[in-house]
Chains A and B, each alone.
Chain A
């Protein structure tokens, strides 16, 4: 039996053999995130990388040979045609293979228990995920390098200008980054095997759809290069980039939060990302609204879109666990809105919704005489946040009912929200039809978040008490307020008990 060697805690003396390696490479690698070094090492060892790289190169080569043959035969196909083909091949790799590989990498980390070991090194989940995102984008660049000479070749075939090439590639990169961030986000979903399987198939469908859209848009921009010079192109492109950036940030921060050990303040990142997204979206929408002549209908549309955004993103924050404060001795107050816990998440979402609603109502009031605003617009703008508050509050209460306790609290609340919204949207029209009334009958659809809102915005109601719209709005508002108070009370009690 060989004795265990001595573990020298001091740096080894000169006699100890030092491992040989490229000195410059070692120094450079010290500057890079360890996760990037690891992922690149692992990535370059996978069959997927080399097969995808080889196939991309081969496909580009075949297309280039066809292009050459066409040119020799004088068939007249120009650079835009071949550029669309090259970008289609590249899109398949950038929008499908790279994000899917990032997802698999994170999943392996979670399933192999290496995630806990990484967390113990002092690397925060956000740093680890940044490293993963960065390394897979670097892999994307490596794939891009395979296609780059061929893309340049298109330029020399004429029929496409450099601006179009740069715009398509410039839009493709943030799209790839968004898809990779989203895939990493999906990789953090599902605590159980069936949950992960659902997430897996969902991601495959999403990436396939996203790849198809990416290929279609890049082909369209390549073939119709005039689109880039349209007046609307810049604001639309800016809007799309904003959506990609903000949703990518939200997906990324939520992923980091899900992977955080409970001893870290996991809620700060997602909540700041939510506020960043909401404030940015409101600001961008306000700018567009001002540029388009401050139309009341547009303000109502943007307001409802903001409510939908709060519902979609805010639901994740409000459906947090009860009272998982970071420091048990110094339990955070109910108004420390960035700290963990459903109570604080819910209050943040409610405040954000109220601020967004107040902004649009105030903007409308300051821009025009309130009497000029169509009644339906005003009613719709007041009703939309009431519906959201009502169903969000109810979902948080229902999600904590004992018969759902087999689900985790966040999942139960999210599921309850979707179920309640679906029930409230589909139930009343069905009941109306059964009673041989019109499906959009006002009396049936008072609490319907879809048809109710449509009815409020329609021409049938007016602001007078006699017309019935104000009492209806008051009833809706009071119901939403009651649900809000009930949800806050329930969450506050549970926060006290489990904090």
Chain B
């Protein structure tokens, strides 16, 4: 059984379908990136998963407990961090965490040790006596993450946690999330900083206009973005003028498997497709080696030749159409 099962989740605001039949699952120890443009329905979906809003239809099961029918059973399993961190400005880091630990009904020694443990994990021990108003955005974000961990939830729902963070704070966040996933926690993280997500997510779900357009392991999504096995090559010619480039273009288009050649600044971008449908394992390497040999044999001064790996940005751009509600 998956830790999180979302089935046909729909949320209507009047006539607007903010979330439209979203379904996906999330296993323990997996980080799932929830990707979509602003207004796609990410935060609305996350609020429903966190039992803060009621869907118009559909079901959310967290470790088998319905977040709609039994929110009191589901809540202890959830650690939710909204897009605004939600800290009390006039409390110290320790007081803030201590207060939420009390709210989660942790008492006495257990509470003190839990707060201590969370502070150590999120590297907040040195900041414990600082007012949260004196903290940087990255530090506040760590405090907010610490708060979500106080009651030891199994599912973390993090809404845009990397938004507005500097590169160092982002790297630190990434490390913390990886450590949490290694401990067996399921992490659902939304973001529109796709390069960040691609480095930490095991799986991703792409949402636009409330509809889930693609979901699955990151490798599958990337393969799909490449259009059924197609890949792209980038090449540059040393000191090449327009004549050399057009000659190279003509030569490349004559090669089997090359479906498109386009200019890319001072170089060329080549779209390569397996001949006769799906390519055998290693076909990209073989085809690109053959192309390179042809170019060199033809006397073209190739100075750079590389297979361009598809990333989440490509997947996102190929799946979404930039529509907003």
Which of A's residues lie within 8 Å of B, judged by CB? 1-9, 11-12, 16-19, 21, 26-27, 29-30, 34-35, 37-38, 41-42, 45-46, 112-114, 116-123, 261-264, 324, 327-329, 405
Contacts and interface: CB of A to CB of B under 8 A. Distances in A.
B120 interface: yes
15 contacts: A1-B171, A4-B172, A4-B175, A7-B179, A19-B94, A29-B102, A42-B88, A113-B82, A116-B52, A119-B52, A120-B80, A121-B151, A122-B76, A261-B52, A324-B54
Interface string B172-187: 1001101110010000
Max chain A Cβ within 10 angstroms of own Cβ: one of B78, B100, B102, B152: B102
Given A4-B176, A12-B116, A12-B117, A121 B51 contact: no
Contacts, number: 135
Given A122-B76, A262-B54, A34 B113 contact: no
Contacts of A112: 84, 86-88
A264 B72 CA distance: 9
A37 to B, nearest CB: 7
Interface SS of chain A: helix, strand, loop or mixed? loop
A2 B123 contact: yes
Interface stretch (B19-27, B104-112, B195-203, B206-214): B104-112
B149 A4 contact: no
Nearest to B125: A5
B51 A120 contact: yes
- Nearest 9 Cβ contacts at the A-B interface: A34-B102, A121-B103, A7-B121, A4-B179, A262-B54, A263-B71, A113-B86, A114-B86, A113-B84
Interface residues of B, number: 58
Contact of B99 (A3, A12, A34): A34
Nearest to B118: A7
A476 to B, nearest CB: 37
B88 A122 contact: no
A261 B111 CA distance: 27
Nearest to B112: A19
Contacts of B178: 4
Given A9-B152, A118-B103, A328-B68, 16 more contacts: A2-B123, A5-B122, A6-B120, A7-B118, A12-B116, A18-B116, A19-B112, A34-B99, A42-B90, A45-B90, A46-B90, A112-B84, A116-B50, A116-B82, A123-B103, A263-B54
A122 B152 contact: no
A18 B84 contact: no
Contacts of B50: 116, 120
B69 A327 contact: yes
Contacts of B75: 120, 122
